């Protein structure tokens, strides 16, 4: 049987990985897929570099539309990235009747609804395993492996850059700025790291998982996004003393009121497996009502780990290539006519627990004031730690740090109490508030 022919749009780090792994493992992949899979055409602006990467047998062009227009191409692999030209090309490929494989999380998180609708109409697949958590087959687990379950929540370390920075901060007691510079020097963070450190990349991925888990449209614009740029080394230390690690989590949760979708630094009990995921590794915890807790761990980025996911999609499409469209695995796990319109909750309606750190005057009655405010709002305290004044050192011998872990409370309520707490004359500095996820 004739090999499946794929065309690559953009041959950077991931594209090179896709080409190399397909070459290296071509015999084994053919044994799995039932027919060969070949990249026969590449579009890249730097055609000379592209040609040197793929050798003389692959046609290299500088016009992506020439790949889409080629009638021999079965699958278009979009690795350009971004919302602009990538969106146009994906839509054109779909209209041309090509299956599409993409690693573009930003595109899908923002324009996924439009793209999947077009693909359904045209009867082609848009596969995107590489868009979330790199080489970890988490899309497949959610879409096919856990179909029995009512998914309750997902919490993932889904950005390697920030996990690397957090690991460095903890291991070496570094401040964020220093750890970021280290990460940049070592190639774990880009020159402009904004999308990573501000949580945007993680939010793109959480948005996609949320849609698949709950059968809702992608809606990145409703996600709550908070990065790690404000985390201090001392908070990581204090959390540690309390038995917690701080991780940037992408979280989506089903509640009776709607779906939570949020990215922010979170305390996680140190004894949880995911708390021990260090460096640039990724891990996603999924809680299902039947299966309980499952976790998926691996490399979330890099040339060949991401290529692994892209090629898994190529194999899936190859295996299902001649299937009638009505029985294909649906893009978002649920059939297109079975999407629900459950709302995404505003952050104020999210219920979670908290780590609070207050710099307070070291004098009688302070503790009573603070805990009185919490008790008045029905917020119960899980644990408390008071640092000795002398341990703070320096000029502040009359100050002390008060750390409080709370039980669950609605964020809107917590915001009100924090405003009152901050206004107390005995609270001497801005209160640090970090959300805490027990993941139990």
Binding region for NADPH: 105
Name residues whose C-beta falls within 8 Å of residue 24's C-beta, 6 or more positions apart in sequence: none
* Minimum distance, C-beta of residue 145 to a copy of itself, in the bound complex (Å): 3
* Minimum distance, C-beta of residue 328 to a copy of itself, in the bound complex (Å): 8
Binding region for a copy of itself (CB under 8 A) = 17, 21-22, 24-25, 28-34, 129, 135-137, 140-141, 144-150, 215, 273, 276-277, 288-299, 302, 304-305, 307-312, 315-316, 319-324, 326-330, 333-335, 338
* Minimum distance, C-beta of residue 27 to a copy of itself, in the bound complex (Å): 9
73 or 277, CB closer to a copy of itself? 277
Give CA separation, 304 vs 79, 119, 145, in Å.
14, 27, 24
In 3-state terms the chain splits into helix, strand, coil percentages (rounded to 5) of 40, 25, 35
Question: How far is Cα of residue 369 from the mean position of the Cα atoms in its chain?
Answer: 39
| Binding-site annotation, residues for L-homoserine | 190
Catalytic residue check, 205 = yes
321 or 410, CB closer to a copy of itself? 321
- State the DSSP H helix or E strand holding residue 96, giving kind and residue range, or none if neither: none
CA distance 221 to 233: 31
217 or 298, CB closer to a copy of itself? 298
The answer to whether the beta carbons of residues 40 and 46 sit under 8 Å apart is no
- Give which of 70, 79, 129 is closest to 97, Cα–Cα: 70
7 or 330, CB closer to a copy of itself? 330
* Minimum distance, C-beta of residue 366 to a copy of itself, in the bound complex (Å): 39
* Minimum distance, C-beta of residue 293 to a copy of itself, in the bound complex (Å): 6
Give CA separation, 279 vs 45, 100, 413, in Å.
34, 32, 35
Question: Exactly one of 30, 98, 140, 205 is catalytic; which is it?
Answer: 205
335 or 390, CB closer to a copy of itself? 335
| Binding-site annotation, residues | 9-16, 105, 190
Question: How far is Cα of residue 378 from the mean position of the Cα atoms in its chain?
Answer: 33
Give CA separation, 424 vs 370, 404, 417, in Å.
9, 16, 11
Active site positions, annotated = 205
């Amino acid at each position: 049987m004739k090999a499946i022919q794929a065309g690559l749009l953009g041959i950077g780090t991931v594209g090179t990985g896709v080409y190399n792994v397909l070459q290296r493992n071509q015999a084994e992949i053919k044994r799995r897929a039932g027919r060969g899979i070949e990249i026969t055409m590449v579009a890249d602006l730097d055609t000379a570099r592209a040609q040197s990467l793929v050798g003389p047998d692959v046609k290299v062009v500088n016009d992506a539309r020439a790949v889409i227009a080629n009638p021999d191409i079965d699958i278009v692999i979009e690795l350009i990235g971004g919302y602009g030209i990538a969106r146009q090309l994906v839509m054109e490929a779909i209209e041309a009747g090509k299956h599409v494989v993409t690693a573009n999380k930003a595109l899908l998180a923002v324009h996924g609804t439009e793209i999947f609708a077009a693909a359904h109409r045209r009867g082609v697949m848009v596969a995107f395993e590489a868009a979330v958590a790199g080489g970890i087959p988490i899309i497949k687990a959610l879409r096919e492996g856990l179909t029995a379950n009512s998914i309750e929540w997902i919490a993932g370390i889904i950005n390697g850059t920030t996990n690397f920075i957090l690991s460095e901060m903890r291991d070496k007691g570094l401040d964020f700025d220093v750890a970021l510079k280290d990460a940049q020097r070592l190639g774990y963070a880009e020159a402009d790291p904004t999308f990573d450190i501000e949580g945007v990349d993680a939010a793109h991925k959480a948005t996609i998982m949320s849609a698949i888990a709950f059968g809702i449209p992608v809606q990145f614009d409703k996600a709550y996004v908070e990065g790690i740029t404000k985390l201090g080394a001392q908070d990581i230390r204090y959390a540690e003393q309390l038995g917690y690690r701080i991780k940037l989590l992408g979280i989506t949760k089903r509640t009776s009121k709607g779906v939570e979708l949020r990215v922010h630094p979170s305390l996680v009990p140190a004894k949880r497996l995911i708390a021990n995921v260090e460096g640039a590794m990724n891990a996603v915890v999924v809680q299902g009502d039947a299966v309980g807790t499952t976790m998926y761990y691996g490399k979330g980025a890099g040339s060949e780990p991401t290529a692994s996911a892209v090629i898994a999609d190529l194999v899936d499409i190859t295996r299902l290539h001649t299937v009638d469209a009505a029985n294909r695995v649906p893009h978002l796990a649920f059939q297109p006519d079975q999407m629900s319109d459950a709302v995404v909750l505003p952050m104020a309606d999210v219920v979670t627990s908290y780590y609070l750190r207050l710099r307070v005057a070291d004098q009688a009655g302070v503790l009573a004031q603070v805990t009185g405010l919490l008790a008045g709002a029905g917020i119960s305290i899980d644990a408390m730690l008071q640092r000795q004044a002398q341990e703070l050192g320096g000029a502040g011998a009359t100050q002390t740090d008060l750390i409080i872990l709370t039980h669950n409370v609605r964020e809107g309520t917590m915001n009100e109490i924090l405003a009152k707490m901050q206004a107390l004359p005995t609270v001497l500095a801005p209160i640090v508030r970090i959300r805490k996820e027990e993941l139990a």
